[in-house]
Chains A and B, each alone.
Chain A
Amino acid sequence: MAKPSEAIDDNSLAQPISRRLRVDLIGQRLALVVAVVGIWWLSSLKVPHYILPGPTRVWDALRLIVANGDLWNNLAITLWRVTVGFVVAALVGLPLGIVLGANKRAGEFFEPVIPVLNTVSSAIWAIFAIIWFGISNATTIFVVFMTAMPLIITNVWQGTRTVNADFIELAQVLRMPQRKVMTKIYLPTILPYFFSGARLAFGFSWRVSLVAETIGSSSGVGYRLRQAADLIRTDQVFAWTLTLVVMMATIEMGMMKPLENYLFRWKKDAETQ
């Protein structure tokens, strides 16, 4: 018989290797940041500051919006809109995706709707939203919802197609009621698909929320960006952009990735094999 510890040993062996790789990676990333900032600084020396502000000028602008509370207020508002739109999209998209995947006729009937929804630009949704909701929170939330929902539906729908018929048979042999088959077999199978769809949708949500806020809002990061651009405060545009990038990276690496690693720890890690 194969040694019981065999597979587990493989994993523990892989650990130090991945740690060494990680140290390498951090070094590479730092070098990249230094290079980018360096090029940025050199370029800004020869260009007027309203075209390309230098790193120090942007840093000052950033300190200003932190000090007067602008940054946190607007980030909070934007984050709140994105979260509401995204959560509603997930709550609608998950069951709808399951129904469309589980019910063949419904799936066939509605199949063309998703690509059509996906091709409609977020800017068009923003224009519709202004017509319907005016300058309000609902405008941004609606745009986020309309962008995120089709992505989540598509992924969940794909997930339902991968449900293993053998596991369904196992549940039938065990006389498991249909409701439990849904929660104990369908849901865990779909979850990775839902999650990757949700991650994608969350990234899109951020981007489109800014579009929506520039034209349909009187607060939020998108609104501030447009205001700064109108006043030709390019340093502030840079400051807002940097903030957004840092925030998105934090959410992605600090929340989404660890959550995914925990939820899907049962998956064989392709990189360590």
Chain B
Amino acid sequence: MNHIELTEQSRNDTTVQMPPAIRLSGVGKSFANGSQRIEVLKDINLIVPPQSIVGLIGVSGSGKSTLLNIISGILKPDRGQVCICGAASEEFNEWASVSYVFQDDRLLPWRTAIRNVEFALESGSITKQERAQRALQALRLVELESFKDAFPYQLSGGMRSRVALARSLVTEPRILLMDEPFSRLDAQTRGLMHEELLRIYQLKRMTVVFVTHDVAEAVLLADQVAVMSPRPGTVREVVNIAPARPRDITQPEVTSYMQQLRALI
């Protein structure tokens, strides 16, 4: 065993020893539909390494969004455990450590861009001055500082998405959950948002879990892609995406991963 292999080995060891950002064990969830119950998630086991990007992919109705809502704490699982950095999600008092990005931007139309970003800080007891300052920093991060006083109707779709991203980043989250975040944008703007997200990820190094139905999006962004089976949803397979980012859809490696994932869904 040569020297290089040894260092490689030891690096792997530290990765294993670091506690996962998110650990799901035996998570199950069903919903009542009239008199019958529909099992949406069944025995989900998933480990999300810290500071990694994990994509959740599957056909619609496989419970991807439900799983994300369980991780975020919006929904409680019927069975199993959700561990976030060692704390059970329903009792983590550090509300700021997990952020959620919705499918749509959900900007409050009566607030300017900066006031929308500030909204994420208004649950706690942060002073008005500090809120404004941090919101401005977050807008700077998404390069929208000069539009801080614009109302949502004055912004384009991509700009609104960036304000929403700034709103989820302003709390300095350790975990960023995204539910088909850019699915409502046109292809070109979506590509720019991918670059934006990866740029911010390089800076902040948070853990990202995103749901998508777009195989290309999953392969372009993720370190790992968890493929979910149709209802009741389980994690069918976790695929490691090896090539270094930024990736391009024309790279043969990338296309072969896309084919592999398509076959798994």
Contacts and interface: CB of A to CB of B under 8 A. Distances in A.
Contact of B147 (A4, A170, A267): A4
Given A6-B156, A268-B153, A167 B108 contact: yes
Contact of B189 (A1, A4, A267): A1
Query: Quick one: which of A169, A170, A185, A188 has the most chain B CB within 10 A?
Result: A170
Given A8-B154, A167-B106, A266-B110, A184 B74 contact: no
B135 to A, nearest CB: 14
B72 to A, nearest CB: 6
Contacts of B123: 174-177, 180
A230 interface: no
B104 A184 contact: no
Query: Quick one: which of B72, B109, B147 has the most chain A CB within 10 A?
Result: B109
A166 B103 CA distance: 11
Contacts of A264: 110
A173 interface: yes
B88 to A, nearest CB: 15
Interface in B164-203: 188-189, 192
A185 B74 CA distance: 18
Given A1-B156, A1-B158, A7-B156, A266 B151 contact: yes
Contacts of A184: 119, 122
Given A170-B102, A173-B74, A2 B156 contact: yes
B108 A2 contact: no
A261 interface: no
A265 interface: yes
A170 B116 CA distance: 12
A156 B257 CA distance: 55
A172 interface: yes
**Chain B interface extent, by class:** 20 to 34
A166 B164 CA distance: 14
Given A2-B158, A2-B189, A7-B155, A174 B119 contact: yes
A242 B132 CA distance: 50
Interface residues of A, number: 27
Contacts of A241: none
B120 interface: yes
A176 B147 CA distance: 26
Contact of B120 (A11, A174, A265, A266): A174
Nearest to A187: B110
Given A2-B157, A188-B108, A268-B153, 17 more contacts: A1-B158, A2-B158, A4-B156, A4-B159, A7-B156, A166-B104, A166-B106, A167-B106, A169-B74, A174-B122, A176-B122, A180-B122, A184-B119, A185-B108, A266-B111, A266-B112, A266-B153
20 contacts: A1-B156, A1-B188, A1-B192, A2-B189, A4-B147, A7-B154, A11-B154, A167-B106, A170-B106, A173-B74, A173-B100, A175-B123, A176-B123, A184-B122, A188-B108, A188-B110, A266-B109, A266-B110, A266-B111, A267-B109
Interface of B: 72, 74, 95, 100, 102, 104, 106, 108-112, 119-120, 122-123, 146-147, 150-159, 188-189, 192
By Cβ-Cβ distance, the 10 closest A-B pairs, closest first, are A2-B156, A175-B95, A266-B151, A268-B153, A7-B154, A176-B123, A173-B100, A266-B110, A188-B110, A170-B106
Interface of A: 1-4, 6-8, 11, 166-167, 169-170, 172-177, 180, 184-185, 188, 264-268
